A and B are shown apart, each in its own frame.
Chain A
Amino acid sequence: MRLNLTVNGRPHQADEVWEGESLLHALRERLGLPGSKNACEQGECGSCTVYLDDVPVCSCMVAAGQAQGRAVRTVEGLADGERLDPVQQSFVDAGAVQCGFCTPGLLVQAHDLIERNPEPTDAEIRESLAGNLCRCTGYEKIMDAVRLAAQRKAVS
């Protein structure tokens, strides 16, 4: 089938998409956007999290065809050109990135949290990020990064 969708503000088209393909597969293998990650492909780890019409979803659990005509925003669409989004910059500055494989999904999820709740408590951060597995950091520096990002967004 032919797939038409908007990704990071730009229209994209892909042909010969197999009906069983996930949005994640289409993004990574057909649209040249491998930033969203394929860690479990069963909706457990959150590494593939993207915005679908402003709602974070596990893109591995969304059929590519379900994104027809809709707007997707991936980790590649968070920065404003050269300028990182405060969430991205905070992950770098707080040392919240080790191997980095969980990072794209966490960034989208944390970005959404701060959009909805600009001053999250620690309990709210943990609850919001509970669907994103990280195997490297033990989450402490991720907590630091999200707190820092919220502070930075508040003053910007």
Chain B
Amino acid sequence: MNAHGNAPSRTPQDLSESITGGVGESPSRPDGNLKVRGDYAYSSDLWAEDMLWGATLRSPHPYARITGIDIARALAYPGVYAVLTHEDVPGDNRYGLKITDQPVLAEDVVRFRGEAVALVAADHPETARRALELIAVDYEVLEPVTDPKRAAHDETLPKLHPDSGRENNLVRYQPIVRGRQDVTAEVVVSGTYTLGMQDQAFLGPESGLAIPAEDGGVELFLATQDLHSDRKQTARALGLPPDKVRMTMSGVGGAFGGREDLSIQVHVCMLAMHTGKPVKMVYNREESFYGHVHRHPAEMHFEHGATRDGDLVYVKARMYFDGGAYASKTPVVVGNATTLGTGPYEVPNVDIAGWGVYTNNPPCGAMRGLGAVQPAFAYEAQMDKLARALDMDPVELRQRNAVAQGSVLHTGQQLDYPAPVGELLERARKLPMPPERDPAAEPDIRDLPGGAANTTHGEDIARGVGYAAIIKNVSYAEGADDYSTARVSLQAVGGEAVAMVHTAAAEVGQGLVTVQQQIARTELGVERVNIHPNDTSVGEAGSSSASRQTYVTGGAVKAACEAVRETLFDRAAAALGHTPPDLAVVDGKLVSESHGVLADVVDVLGDGVIECTREYHHRPTYPLDPETGQSELVHVQHAFSVHRAVVDVDTQLGLVKVVALDCVQDVGKAVNPDAIVGQIQGGATQGMGLAVMEEIQVSDGLIRNPSFTDYLIPTILDTPPMKVDIIERGDPHAPYGVRGVGEPPTISAGPAVLAAIRAATGIDLTHAPAGPEHITGTAH
């Protein structure tokens, strides 16, 4: 463990010896050089000769009937090449990740402010923008449905999706019950907790370049989290077979869940196919707030019962998630929130239910920590409340109830892999504390709440410390066939064996390209590994989400490399006339312990190429029983992290300075320790943002702050030094024992920060983000 610096913390048991840059080492990113030169081509950087610019007209109303659209004036505007409406959608005017409920372009109804209504292609982005203003849409404005609880239960509200087949405006209802339901406890604490809507705020805007193809299809260069999911949905809307829609990944400027749903994909392809010209589309920041889904806001009622000794007896919870106008990932949010809603604790009696609903608020879907972020704010606040009621140390209470390997969760799933929550808590408690403030010394105001705003010189500042432990599922769940595909080739180039790895797995900044190289180096014993651009000419990889790619695509790359290696061994054996035992590839040479060096890999390869394609499927998961929520194995893996936050709070003004935000996380196997530290620090910062500043302000269905001026994300001044302590307790079911890394720190950081602010102020904060009005107790 170290404070910060280049060397990440490691546990000593796991320093593998291998070729430079293999599994367990921390080689640099292969795209780092391009990125620091400004030469890495992001999806908004693309350009084609004679290209047009696309733009989207969006609904100004959260709920309205469209009674007419007149495009004549826009079409006549000089420089405009196309104006398209729903009538021009060539295929099925519906798409969606889980439920196909969203129109490509609105027909008779708009269900959220920002819904796409019409498209323009023009010779300049400003021409396109002006043409949008010339499209006349007649709206009959309707009263929007904005209260998620009423949306779930009130039969008198309009049904936003009358054909859904579900009651009222329900997207998914899931209860989970286990143990006794009539149970009581000696000590009971309860609370209602609410979360605002968070934005992924990736910096690279939604963008892409579509080029019509001679075979009647289209080529799309774009930034996404899942090429094949995009292609399936886009081909359906374009009325084309999937092989006519070819997608290639361009540079992705961050994703965090916000690129799982379609944005520009169908629109820019429609414009290109209609005009016969390349069309580029780039959202600006305001449009980006309307053009992608956000994290579900939530209202959560929790009750915890415990014995006087601090053993949890029961948890009851009711959670509401506002999915907004279209379903997106709402069903998964409900599944994750209910299955993870007790936290990383053993609870004998559980009664949890979650509702995900349609409203006319902005659509919500995937964001880092999907469905696990919301309940963590509630159950960790409850654990602190319980500790106070018991007069017990909050870390000790958590350790007393922590799950471990062998624990049975409330879904009935038994954890058949390490679950070292107690150990994580112990290590977090022992991390060195930041120095105390010296009240006698003149402070640097930049270190204080309010910073350079010069609101305090140290008076009215209180320090607090808070802990949070969390649980997150890894990969797709509830019976989804979760797999990825890798094609690996090996050939001699210029006297050196060179491997090529080809997958459709999206590099979104997390460093998957580095990990793929490391796996190939380790498995094939060669130094040079090239990464083929991601595209749809190889099999599916699934989404870069759910902390799953190192597990699933890592598993596919490993399997494909093993197949290549076996072929190589077969060729060597044929040449040698016998099959030596314990063959291995080391530094480009075939060796066996008994026979020593047998051959150079390049000589075995000759002029040939060995190429193998393999899928990796993780072990099957099973759906939840719709009434009891029981499942033999709902999640393939769980991940755990613990955060300790230290804050200084200006108790008069309600301003917060996060002083330290330190994390202990089990990563199973640290494939690239430096990159993991980067994931944990970045993830934690997003969680901290949700705790203290990030909220899309929505009222009457309208976003009030769709800009980086008004939607604040942490700057380098807001973000503290972050110690990271990685432990490696391998999962025997996973390739190399890996455990998903990306999401847990986002989940544990926020509740730890709120716990620290509560500790500093004694105020019972129930809303995230906690603003000055909450921290001073003056919120209405």
Please give the residue numbers on chain A whose beta carbons come within 8 Å of chain B beta carbons, in ascending order: 18, 20-21, 28-29, 32-42, 44-45, 47, 74-76, 78-79, 84, 88-89, 91-95, 97-104, 107, 123, 125-127, 129-144, 148
Q: Are A75 and B38 in contact (CB under 8 A)?
A: yes
- Residues of A near B675 (CB, < 8 A) are 95
**Contact flags (1/0) for B28-44 with A, using CB distance below 8 Å?**
11011101111111101
Task: Give A137 Cβ to nearest chain B Cβ, in Å.
Answer: 5
Report the separation of the CA atoms of residues A139 and B715 in the bound assembly, to the nearest whole angstrom.
8
A selection of 8 A-B contacts at a CB cut-off of 8 Å is A21-B126, A47-B203, A91-B36, A93-B28, A100-B31, A100-B36, A100-B509, A138-B681
- Indicate whether B510 reaches chain A with its CB closer than 8 angstroms: yes
Given contacts A123-B444, A127-B717, A136-B682, contact A40 B256 (CB under 8 A): no
- Indicate whether B285 reaches chain A with its CB closer than 8 angstroms: yes
The residue in chain B whose Cβ has the minimal distance to the Cβ of A142 is B716
Which of B246-254, B296-304, B415-423 touches A? Answer: B246-254
- Residues of B near A29 (CB, < 8 A) are 47
Task: Give A19 Cβ to nearest chain B Cβ, in Å.
Answer: 10
Q: Are A130 and B36 in contact (CB under 8 A)?
A: no
Q: Are A76 and B284 in contact (CB under 8 A)?
A: no
Q: Are B37 and A75 in contact (CB under 8 A)?
A: yes
Q: Are B35 and A135 in contact (CB under 8 A)?
A: no
Given contacts A135-B686, A135-B713, contact A99 B203 (CB under 8 A): yes
Most buried by B among A125, A126, A135, A144: A135
Q: Are B37 and A88 in contact (CB under 8 A)?
A: yes
Task: Give B154 Cβ to nearest chain A Cβ, in Å.
Answer: 38
Given contacts A44-B709, A99-B204, A102-B203, contact A135 B282 (CB under 8 A): no
Starting from the known contacts A39-B203, A131-B715, 13 additional A-B residue pairs (CB-CB under 8 Å) come to: A37-B42, A95-B674, A98-B511, A101-B204, A103-B36, A123-B444, A126-B446, A133-B713, A135-B201, A136-B678, A138-B678, A141-B681, A143-B716
Report the separation of the CA atoms of residues A112 and B630 in the bound assembly, to the nearest whole angstrom.
59
Q: Are B713 and A144 in contact (CB under 8 A)?
A: no
- Residues of B near A99 (CB, < 8 A) are 202-204, 251-255, 508-509
- Sort A-B residue pairs by CB-CB distance and give the 10 closest, nearest first: A35-B38, A99-B509, A101-B253, A100-B35, A138-B681, A75-B38, A138-B685, A34-B45, A44-B708, A98-B509
- Residues of B near A89 (CB, < 8 A) are 36
- Residues of A near B683 (CB, < 8 A) are 138
Report the separation of the CA atoms of residues A45 and B16 in the bound assembly, to the nearest whole angstrom.
40
- Residues of A near B715 (CB, < 8 A) are 130-133
Residues of chain B from 481 to 527 with CB closer than 8 A to chain A in the complex: 508-511
Q: Are A84 and B253 in contact (CB under 8 A)?
A: no
Given contacts A104-B38, A123-B444, A130-B716, contact A137 B29 (CB under 8 A): no
Q: Are B39 and A35 in contact (CB under 8 A)?
A: yes
Residues of chain B from 32 to 75 with CB closer than 8 A to chain A in the complex: 32-33, 35-42, 44-45, 47
Task: Give B511 Cβ to nearest chain A Cβ, in Å.
Answer: 7
Given contacts A101-B203, A101-B204, contact A144 B678 (CB under 8 A): no
Residues of chain B from 721 to 770 with CB closer than 8 A to chain A in the complex: 721-722
Tell me which of A33, A74, A95 contacts B678 (CB under 8 A): A95
Most buried by B among A42, A103, A139: A139
- Residues of B near A140 (CB, < 8 A) are 4, 677-678, 681, 719, 721-722
Task: Give A63 Cβ to nearest chain B Cβ, in Å.
Answer: 13
- Residues of A near B447 (CB, < 8 A) are 123
- Indicate whether B452 reaches chain A with its CB closer than 8 angstroms: yes
Report the separation of the CA atoms of residues A97 and B251 in the bound assembly, to the nearest whole angstrom.
13
- Indicate whether B634 reaches chain A with its CB closer than 8 angstroms: no
- Residues of A near B686 (CB, < 8 A) are 135
Most buried by B among A123, A126, A142: A126
Please give the residue numbers on chain B whose beta carbons come within 8 Å of chain A beta carbons, in ascending order: 4-6, 26, 28-29, 31-33, 35-42, 44-45, 47, 124, 126, 200-205, 251-256, 282, 284-285, 444, 446-447, 452, 508-511, 674-675, 677-678, 681-686, 707-709, 713, 715-717, 719, 721-722
Tell me which of A84, A125, A129, A135 contacts B33 (CB under 8 A): A84
Report the separation of the CA atoms of residues A129 and B715 in the bound assembly, to the nearest whole angstrom.
8
- Residues of B near A127 (CB, < 8 A) are 446, 452, 717
Given contacts A100-B35, A103-B36, contact A38 B717 (CB under 8 A): no
Tell me which of A97, A132, A133, A143 contacts B35 (CB under 8 A): A97
Report the separation of the CA atoms of residues A107 and B510 in the bound assembly, to the nearest whole angstrom.
20
Report the separation of the CA atoms of residues A102 and B683 in the bound assembly, to the nearest whole angstrom.
16
Report the separation of the CA atoms of residues A138 and B680 in the bound assembly, to the nearest whole angstrom.
8
The number of residue pairs between A and B whose CB atoms lie closer than 8 Å in the complex comes to: 190
Given contacts A102-B203, A140-B4, A144-B6, contact A38 B44 (CB under 8 A): yes
Q: Are A39 and B204 in contact (CB under 8 A)?
A: yes
The residue in chain A whose Cβ has the minimal distance to the Cβ of B26 is A95
Task: Give B361 Cβ to nearest chain A Cβ, in Å.
Answer: 23
- Residues of B near A144 (CB, < 8 A) are 4-6
Q: Are B682 and A98 in contact (CB under 8 A)?
A: yes
Q: Are A40 and B38 in contact (CB under 8 A)?
A: no
- Residues of A near B40 (CB, < 8 A) are 100
Tell me which of B6, B32, B200, B681 contacts A92 (CB under 8 A): B32
Task: Give A79 Cβ to nearest chain B Cβ, in Å.
Answer: 6
Report the separation of the CA atoms of residues A33 and B717 in the bound assembly, to the nearest whole angstrom.
30
The residue in chain B whose Cβ has the minimal distance to the Cβ of A91 is B36
Report the separation of the CA atoms of residues A132 and B685 in the bound assembly, to the nearest whole angstrom.
15
- Residues of A near B717 (CB, < 8 A) are 126-127, 130
Q: Are A39 and B285 in contact (CB under 8 A)?
A: yes
Given contacts A42-B707, A98-B511, contact A135 B202 (CB under 8 A): yes
Q: Are A126 and B256 in contact (CB under 8 A)?
A: no
Task: Give A118 Cβ to nearest chain B Cβ, in Å.
Answer: 20
Q: Are A98 and B510 in contact (CB under 8 A)?
A: yes
Report the separation of the CA atoms of residues A134 and B718 in the bound assembly, to the nearest whole angstrom.
12
The residue in chain A whose Cβ has the minimal distance to the Cβ of B507 is A99
Q: Are A42 and B713 in contact (CB under 8 A)?
A: no
Q: Are A135 and B708 in contact (CB under 8 A)?
A: no
Given contacts A92-B28, A135-B203, contact A97 B253 (CB under 8 A): no
Report the separation of the CA atoms of residues A129 and B203 in the bound assembly, to the nearest whole angstrom.
16
Q: Are A137 and B508 in contact (CB under 8 A)?
A: no
The residue in chain A whose Cβ has the minimal distance to the Cβ of B127 is A18
The residue in chain A whose Cβ has the minimal distance to the Cβ of B200 is A135
- Residues of A near B31 (CB, < 8 A) are 100
Q: Are A101 and B722 in contact (CB under 8 A)?
A: no
Report the separation of the CA atoms of residues A89 and B583 in the bound assembly, to the nearest whole angstrom.
39
Q: Are A139 and B719 in contact (CB under 8 A)?
A: yes
Given contacts A92-B32, A100-B35, contact A37 B681 (CB under 8 A): no
The residue in chain A whose Cβ has the minimal distance to the Cβ of B686 is A135
Q: Are B707 and A38 in contact (CB under 8 A)?
A: no
Given contacts A101-B253, A133-B713, contact A44 B33 (CB under 8 A): no
Task: Give B441 Cβ to nearest chain A Cβ, in Å.
Answer: 15
Q: Are A45 and B708 in contact (CB under 8 A)?
A: yes
Report the separation of the CA atoms of residues A116 and B6 in the bound assembly, to the nearest whole angstrom.
25
Given contacts A97-B36, A127-B717, contact A40 B707 (CB under 8 A): yes
- Residues of B near A37 (CB, < 8 A) are 42, 44, 203-204, 253
Q: Are B722 and A138 in contact (CB under 8 A)?
A: yes
The residue in chain B whose Cβ has the minimal distance to the Cβ of A146 is B716
Task: Give A22 Cβ to nearest chain B Cβ, in Å.
Answer: 11
Task: Give B442 Cβ to nearest chain A Cβ, in Å.
Answer: 14
Task: Give A58 Cβ to nearest chain B Cβ, in Å.
Answer: 12
Q: Are B202 and A76 in contact (CB under 8 A)?
A: no
The residue in chain A whose Cβ has the minimal distance to the Cβ of B510 is A98
Q: Are A137 and B446 in contact (CB under 8 A)?
A: no
Report the separation of the CA atoms of residues A99 and B483 in the bound assembly, to the nearest whole angstrom.
24
Report the separation of the CA atoms of residues A125 and B256 in the bound assembly, to the nearest whole angstrom.
27
Report the separation of the CA atoms of residues A130 and B719 in the bound assembly, to the nearest whole angstrom.
10
Report the separation of the CA atoms of residues A42 and B386 in the bound assembly, to the nearest whole angstrom.
46
Given contacts A41-B284, A42-B709, contact A138 B446 (CB under 8 A): no
